[in-house]
Amino acid sequence: MSGHNKWANIKHRKGAQDAKRSKVFTKIIRELTIAARDAGGDPDANPRLRAAMDKAKDANMPKDKIETAIKKGTGELEGEELHELLYEGYGPAGIALIISVVTDNKNRSAQEIRHILSKHGGSLAENGAVSWNFERKALIKVPKEEVEDFEEFMMEAIEAGAEDIDENSDPVEITTDPDLMAQVRDTLKEAGYSADEELTYIPKNTVTITGNDAEKLIKLLNVLDDNDDVQDVYGNYDIDDAEFERISESL
């Protein structure tokens, strides 16, 4: 399982237990608005919006909040001016990071991200310094208990456009081109599988870290996640599953 996906799973559990639901909702609302602004309010024609709506439903966001966020994106309702930014940087042990931000104040966000990184053993980098090591991909997840015949499942996914399938992860993770995300998802759902999707950045090469470096990195990820403007963080780290769980649960 790639570093980012481990962190996404930890975040999901953390979010489900987090009393500060408003922080979670704020990030999802901004994602809904940006997705609708960029490619329209129809989730069937806008894979990114569809993924954001699935995330909103998983977080038990009220339907009226979802609809309002989308209407602000399409211009049907007035909303704040939002800017979508990607910061590149380094974490402890030289781990490459891409930090996705949605903000109403670009200067504030840049200062906060720079401060967080420097305080936790990292630094901001110039555009292109780390992004060359990542590919924009769609990630589709299917509960492992639903996959009774993996060979059959794999053939269905590949025929629909899957590029890679990680049968060792739980849920099973399918990687594909972002343009094929809806096609692969719908094919699997028609075959009777549950399927959640998201857009992500997959590292071409990863760096294994352990011990103190791993603890420092996870602390950094926690602090970044607590920042209202940070939507997501992608990294090229690889940490043993058991160690990742142990450190994350202790924070």
What domains can be seen in the chain, in order of their start residue? 3-74 (1.10.10.200), 83-132+207-250 (3.30.70.980), 133-203 (3.30.70.980)
Low-confidence winner among 43-47, 71-75, 82-86, 247-251 (lowest mean pLDDT) = 247-251
pLDDT over threshold 70, residue 117: yes
Please give the structure tokens belonging to residue 34: 């940006």
Confidence of residue 16 (pLDDT cuts 50, 70, 90): very low
How far apart CA 44 and CA 170 sit, in angstroms, is 27
Please give the structure tokens belonging to residue 12: 């999901």
Spell out the residues 6+ positions from residue 226 whose beta carbon is closer than 8 angstroms to its own: 23
Confidence of residue 182 (pLDDT cuts 50, 70, 90): confident
The residue with greater pLDDT, 34 or 4, is 34
Task: Work out the number of other CB atoms within 10 angstroms of the CB of residue 195.
Answer: 23
The answer to whether 198 and 55 have CB atoms below 8 angstroms apart is yes
pLDDT of residue 3: 52
DSSP secondary-structure letter at 189? H
pLDDT of residue 12: 45
The residue with greater pLDDT, 151 or 21, is 151
How far apart CA 184 and CA 165 sit, in angstroms, is 12
pLDDT over threshold 60, residue 134: yes
pLDDT of residue 248: 79
Sign, CA torsion 82/200/54/179: positive
* DSSP letters for 191-245: TT---EEEEEEEESS-EE--HHHHHHHHHHHHHHHHSTTEEEEEE-EE--HHHHH
- Give 37-65 pLDDT, tens digit per residue: 999 999 988 888 988 998 899 889 999 99
pLDDT over threshold 70, residue 127: yes
